[in-house]
Amino acid sequence: MSKIKVVIVDDHSLVREGITALLKFYEDVEVIGEAADGREAIAIATKLNPDVMLMDIAMPGLGGLEATIEIKKRNPDIKILVLSQYDDREYVSRFLKANVSGYILKRAVGGELITAIRAVAKGESYLHSSIAAKVIDGYIGKAAEVADPYDSLTDREKQVLKLIAEGNTHKEMATILGISVKTAIAHHTNICDKLALRSKAELIKFAIQKGIIRLET
């Protein structure tokens, strides 16, 4: 029997270890790798070509959304299953637009996790019940919504926006994304122009309001 090859992406080692231990009970699943941040996730996806990646959202450097965008661009066949503590509609919307296959909550992990993994591995979609409700509510209210300026950003600009909001310098962003400092500055300028923002403070405020970054409490 062919096993479902899984990679776990989470910046907490205890979470990765716990999920790995849980999945060992299922003979049709094999954890073939782990990653602690978005950059590692992209690298391991390219190297190991897993069937399913369990993707956390909030991680240092490149987060789950930014990594997902890059992974799906490089290999659309890899199924991304978001595994997060956040059920905010903004987060859910961002990931669904990035073509993830499923979204479940960490508090629901257990039997639901293996069900979700098996579903997305077969090409199906899987949403935790509370997430599904938010998606339905979102579509119902969509007609009354104004176009979201965030959607005007390119995938790379979305990555840069998060990194800027987290306090990274242009040089640090260039290193993380593998681009030149000049290009990082150009992306920063384009982002401010598209979003009509005049300062870094306004950019950070926008990122918080849109759920791109989250203030720790």
**Residue range of the domain that includes 43:** 4-140
pLDDT at 212: 81
- CA-based nearest residue to 159, from 74, 54, 63: 63
Mean pLDDT of the residues in the chain: 86
**β-pair partners for 105:** 84
pLDDT digits (tens, 9 = 90+) for 50-92: 999 999 988 888 889 889 999 999 999 999 999 988 777 777 8
> 179 and 75 share a domain?
no
CB contact at 8 A, 213 and 179: no
pLDDT at 215: 64
Whether residue 83 is contained in a domain is answered as yes
Distance CA 52, CA 126 (A): 13
Last residue within a domain, chosen from 79, 108, 140: 140
Contact 217, 203 (CB under 8 A): no
Over residues 148-159, mean pLDDT: 86
Residues 16 and 122 in one domain: yes
Question: Does the residue 85 lie in any domain?
Answer: yes
Report how far residue 45's alpha carbon sits from residue 24's, in angstroms, rounded to the nearest whole number: 21
Pick the range with the lowest mean pLDDT from 79-83, 109-113, 150-154: 109-113
Q: Which of 150, 138, 134 is nearest to 208 (CA)?
A: 150
| Per-residue pLDDT at 149 | 84
Nearest to 205 by CA among 170, 165, 162: 165
Q: Which of 26-30, 58-62, 118-122 has the lowest mean pLDDT?
A: 58-62
Contacts of 176 (CB under 8 A, 6+ apart): 39, 61, 62, 163, 168
Q: What is the pLDDT of residue 92?
A: 80
Q: How far apart are CA 36 and CA 41, in angstroms?
A: 7
Q: What is the pTM of this model?
A: 0.73
112 and 73 fall within a common domain: yes
In a domain, 215, yes or no: no
Q: For residue 153, give every residue at least 6 positions away whose Cβ sits within 8 Å of its Cβ, in sequence order, or none.
A: 161, 191, 194, 195
Looking at the chain, the whole-number percentage of residues with pLDDT higher than 90 is: 53
Identify the pLDDT of residue 129. Answer: 73
pLDDT of residue 144: 47
Res 63: pLDDT: 87
Average pLDDT of the segment spanning 97-126 = 89
Torsion sign across C-alpha atoms 106, 122, 51, 132: negative
Sign of torsion over alpha carbons 190, 193, 196, 202: positive
Share of the chain above pLDDT 70, in %: 89
CATH code at position 195: 1.10.10.10
Same-domain pairing of 81 and 183: no
Structure confidence by residue, pLDDT tens digits, 121-149: 999 999 877 676 556 555 444 544 556 78
**Residues 136, 195 share a domain:** no
